[in-house]
Amino acid sequence: MRVWPGDKVKLFGDRRVRKVIGKNANRGILYLETASGPPEPVRHDDVILWPWEIEQKGGQQ
């Protein structure tokens, strides 16, 4: 995976962009920042916009 902690992704069905705080590339899991509590694990299949796609679209929409 070409994402790193600090990058932002957008998930299917989520209106906001989320910050990546970790990853497990072997399993295809990203760990996303939450307001409180432990990081939220999500599968790479749930991402609809990757950091380079967000940049092309001009940031958050």
pLDDT computed for residue 57 by the predictor: 74
**The pLDDT of residue 56:** 85
Residue 32 burial (C-beta neighbours within 10 Å; 0-12, 13-18, 19+): buried
Structure tokens at 27: 């399993």
Q: Which residues of the chain have pLDDT under 50?
A: none
Model pLDDT, residue 59:
54
pTM for the predicted model, two decimal places: 0.85
